[in-house]
Amino acid sequence: MCMAASFRNGQLINHEVPPYTHDSLEPSPGTLASLSLSSHCGEAMDLINKFLNITVPFVALVTLPFFLPPYFLFKFLLSTIGNIFSEDVAGKVVLITGASSGIGEHLAYEYARKGACLALIARRELRLREVASQAELIGSPTAIVIPGDVTKVEDCKHFVEATVKHFGRLDHLVTNAGVAPVCMFEDYPDITRAAPAMDINFWGSAYSAYFAIPHLKQSKGKIIAIASAAGWLPVPRMTFYSVGNPLIRILSLNSYY
């Protein structure tokens, strides 16, 4: 036994304290059972993962030929119905972000062929003017250029208000501006360098939609959100691009309906 001392009412009192033994430090039966259960669960999960790694690719290859024909038929029917009942956009006002190149540029040309009035937004003013000139040659009654950066909330407010001031209305907002950084998540030397991708891809759409919604309500207009399959089929080395796509879809679906 060990001795310990304490003071009580000004007097020194000695106590006998049982020493720690090796037995007192051993885990309880309940703790041992928990550790054993965790070990068995880990082994079971490893077996399940190995089973899935073997079976899933095989099942996917077998079922793919049966899945693709109905899928393509559905896409064909959807496209046909869309062409038959397509909206007449002649004379309507369409604002397109990221219109200086790529998808945004060609969307501008498609709208121009159908006679829509265009407000083209991007940071490169000279390139925008080239796109606007070509759009007017194709068939757009008017194509205006408004330089702007979708990552800046004041720019988004400005180009929406400038469009409505010039045309008197807004019918379609096309949130197209986006970037696709290519880098493994763990390979970023500074994680803050990934922020611009989210600022452009998601917040650029959010800012634009926020200021456009009051005008779209008046015209019973639409928000056309440009996103890719990366939202439901993530692509290696494109983490932040893949993350932004479902957010854009959710934003467009829940904006004002």
**pLDDT for the residue 148:** 93
Q: Which residues pair with 238 in a beta bridge?
A: 183
75 alpha-carbon distance from chain centroid: 24
Q: Is the pTM of this model over 0.95?
A: no
- DSSP single-letter state for residue 28: P
**CA 59 – CA 55 distance, rounded (Å):** 6
- Look at residue 251 and tell me whether its pLDDT is greater than 50: yes
**Residues 6 or more apart from 218 whose CB is under 8 A from it?**
169
Bridge-based pairing of strands 11-17 and 2-8 is antiparallel
Summarised one tens digit per residue, pLDDT across range 202-233 is: 888 889 999 999 999 999 999 988 877 766 66
Mind giving me the DSSP string for 113-159? Answer: HTT-EEEEEES-HHHHHHHHHHHHHHT-S-EEEEE--TTSHHHHHHH
User: Which of 78, 74, 121 minimizes the C-alpha distance to 100?
Assistant: 121
- Look at residue 26 and tell me whether its pLDDT is greater than 80: no
- Look at residue 33 and tell me whether its pLDDT is greater than 70: no
Query: Which sequence positions are flagged as catalytic?
Result: 241
- How many Å is the maximal CA-CA distance in the chain? 105
